[in-house]
Chains A and B, each alone.
Chain A
Amino acid sequence: MRPPDPPPVAAAMKLLVDVQNVTVRFRRKRNLRAMLTGGDVTFRAVADADLAIYRQEVVGLVGESGSGKTTLGRTILRLYEPSEGVVVFDGEDITHLREHQLRRVWRHMALVFQDPLSSLNPRHSIRTTLATPLRITGTDGAEIEPRVIAALRRVGLPSDALDRYPHELSGGQLQRAALARALMLSPALVIADEAVSKLDVSVRSQILNLFKDLQADLSIAFLFITHDLHVAAYLCDRIAVMFFGRVVETAPAHELFRAPRHPYTRALLATIDDTAEAPETARRGLVDPEVRGCIYQSQCPRRVARCGDAHPPTMTVGNDHTLACYNSG
């Protein structure tokens, strides 16, 4: 099914990111038992994942902690190297590029972190932080200052923030500064990893609005990694749901919220319905990430015999709607 049938609107758009069958394994800390039993010394953070992002599209990657959504995001940035599968960015296979080759690719990508304070060098003023990407790419010296000021304005920071240091700014201002840096080189893709979840409620809506404005004004594709379904629903055109390293369902946002197909998506969506006392759907078994068969089987209320045999293949079930489930009903 790769790439999935482009949606009517997206058909006109070009594929920007194409993640195909990507598996990411990390080395587990070596312990005595593993050495003695010859057990597996790696664990699988992302398993056989597919994800496509079209130019200018806003995609949400939703899942709970440990679902591998951050790992998948960073694999697209090639901060991690997949052990299987292919990552294509703007038509180029970047799966196994070396760091010096990646620098060329990275000019078109940016990452916004959950904690903005940790993402800004405490020893650099905001001016230095924003000017650095321009300096590296050999921007003419006289052009730097006006472009830095323009970037500051675009994210709604006052110009007296230029000479401040990260610890002198508030959480909302810091995330604006981090966003300004991400946009400095006009990237084609911005990956925002829980970019609003650490912010205070009263500041969060400011930043969400800022993201909305930027989506409207700039021709950038966004990947929003979040555990907050409201945020994903508000910002995204299309949403991919992850569970324990697997992408279990992707669909246009409105369709996913209207008619979720995967039992896990349904359980997840039930949590945001405040009024209805959602029925206890999820069973509370332990999830074995290396299990044979469907990753969700131990939690699933709709389990059938087949679920124990192999993880269900990802199928296209509707317009731009993919699903990995044998018994979605």
Chain B
Amino acid sequence: MSAVLEVSGLNLVLDANARRLHVVRDVTLDLRQAEVLGLIGESGSGKTMTGLSLLRLEPEQSDITATTLRLGETDLLVASQSALRALRGSKIAMIFQDPVGAFNPAKRIGWHARQVLRQRNITAWRDKTHDLLAEVDITDTDRVLDAYPHQLSGGMLQRVLIALVLAAEPQVIIADEPTTNLDNIVERQILRLFRRLKHSHGAAFIFITHDMTVAAALSDRIAVMYAGEIVEIGPTRDIFDVPKHPYTIALIRTAQALQARAGRLPEIAGELPSLARHPTGCAFASRCPHRMAACDTTRIAMTQTDPQRQVRCLLHAPA
């Protein structure tokens, strides 16, 4: 399958108060058609910044570099601002954690739908909206269209946002923690919705989340991020069956132990390294049970362990 989004060697350095924070380090991934890639990481792992960089919505005071950053035929690194604006929404779109921010609070939902569909030159917007909302399981369309954003629940608003994003039929949708603020039951419903949309639309998704179980439920492939780097990437099933990076192993083991209500949870000792002080070697070394001398001194590259999988760890590096 061909890649709709190609990223290699992506770096993002933020200029924060005279300090330079290297928040995304050498990220390489490609997204194939009709695929869901789960991007997993904790806060500060650079997963959101990676997502924003793919839309070229990185913060203003920052330097973005990459060997390749290509959406279909378009090189996103050199594309003009107006070209990027045209791409966003039509070819590549983003769904945020907080759907409220995506709506103008003073306008009804119907107004937003009209705006989106007008760009697509659809005049019979009410009929079309009906179909779109039906697709995200909203049946009382008229009531929803006449409502203001604050009158809808978070789950309902997220559904509407997903419907409006899908209206443009983008090739790539980046969803940044779209269910984190929602209640468990609603979260399940939205995840189920995503799973269905993945089949019915040809779009490729990048699903950013901190929750292993959410990623597992949805993704074809998983990329695990730690301190700005992708430390492991591969098919979801394989990674859950045989995780290779010690961080991935610890994350999965922790999640499973909590679900199994085991006596004592396995801990990952220590804390995330500060962004300002990224170690020379492996960022996870200080917390790793398999730490070796070489981990602290060498810059660790991705190792291809089998055709589908890569891992950034000396344990799996060729001798």
CB–CB under 8 A between A and B in the complex?
yes
**B57 CB-CB contact with A under 8 Å:** no
A185 within 8 A of B: no
Do A205 and B272 form a contact, CB below 8 Å, given A227-B184, A271-B187? no
In the complex, the answer to whether A282 meets B210 with C-beta atoms within 8 Å is no
Q: Chain B contact residues: over half helix, strand or loop, or mixed?
A: helix
Of the candidates B183, B186, B212, B268, which one forms a contact with A205 in the assembled complex, judged by CB atoms under 8 Å apart? B268
Roughly how many angstroms separate A64 CA and B154 CA in the complex, as a whole number? 12
- Within 8 Å by CB of A64, from B185, B251, B259, B272, lies B185
Pairs across A and B, CB under 8 Å, 8 listed: A65-B183, A200-B42, A201-B212, A201-B254, A204-B254, A206-B267, A231-B258, A280-B189
| Complex alpha-carbon distance, A229 and B265, angstroms | 16
Which residue from chain B places its CB closest to the CB of A65 in the assembled complex? B183
Residue-by-residue, is B29-70 near A (CB-CB < 8 Å gives 1, otherwise 0)? 000000000000011000000000000000000000000000
User: From DSSP, what is the main secondary structure of chain A's interface residues?
Assistant: helix
Residue A172 is within 8 A (CB to CB) of chain B in the complex: yes
Which A residues contact B (CB, under 8 angstroms)?
64-65, 170, 172-173, 200-206, 208-209, 212, 227, 229-231, 233-234, 267-268, 270-272, 274, 278, 280, 282, 284
Contacts of A201 in B (CB 8 A): 42, 210-212, 251, 254-255
* 10 residue pairs, one from A and one from B, having the closest CB atoms: A64-B183, A205-B265, A200-B42, A202-B268, A271-B184, A271-B188, A170-B271, A205-B254, A230-B258, A206-B267
| B187 with A205: CB separation less than 8 A | no
A65, A173, A274: the one within 8 Å of B216 (CB): A274
**Residues from chain B with Cβ under 8 Å of A274 in the complex:** 213, 216-217, 259
Contact A203 B271, CB 8 Å, known A64-B183, A212-B264, A274-B216? yes
Q: How close is B266's CB to chain A, nearest CB, in angstroms?
A: 7
> Smallest CB-CB separation from A198: which chain B residue?
B43
Residues of A within 8 A of B267 (CB): 205-206, 209
B86 at interface by CB-CB < 8 Å: no
CA distance A268 to B265 in the complex (A): 24
A272 partner residues in chain B, CB cutoff 8 A = 184, 259
B257 contacts chain A at the CB level, 8 A cutoff: yes
Q: How far is the CA of A83 from the CA of B122 in the complex (A)?
A: 54
Residue of B nearest to A172 (CB): B271
Q: Which of B260-294 contact A (CB under 8 A)?
A: 261, 264-269, 271-272, 287
- Enumerate chain B residues within 8 angstroms of A234, measured Cβ to Cβ: 258, 261, 265
The reply to whether A227 and B258 contact each other, CB–CB distance below 8 Å, is no
- Asked if B27 is an interface residue, CB under 8 A from chain A, the answer is no
CB-defined contacts of A204 to chain B, threshold 8 Å: 254
Q: How far is the CA of A209 from the CA of B268 in the complex (A)?
A: 11
Contacts of A64 in B (CB 8 A): 183-186
Cβ of B301 < 8 Å from any Cβ of A?
Answer: no
Q: How long is the Cα–Cα vector from A244 to B183 in the complex, in angstroms?
A: 13
B250 sits at the interface (CB 8 A)? yes
Question: CB within 8 Å of A: which of B156-199?
Answer: 183-189
Q: State whether A202 touches B185 (Cβ < 8 A).
A: no
Alpha-carbon separation in the docked complex, A240 to B117 (Å): 46
B123 to chain A, nearest CB (A): 31
Residues from chain A with Cβ under 8 Å of B216 in the complex: 274
Q: Report chain A residues within 8 Å CB of B137.
A: 284
Q: Please state if B184 and A202 are interface contacts (CB–CB under 8 Å).
A: no
New A-B contacts (8) at CB < 8 Å, excluding given A64-B186, A173-B271, A272-B184: A64-B183, A65-B183, A201-B251, A201-B254, A202-B247, A270-B188, A274-B213, A282-B185
Bitwise, B232-262 to A at CB < 8 A (1) or not (0) is 0000000000000001001100110111010
Give the Cβ gap from A181 to chain B, nearest Cβ, in Å: 20
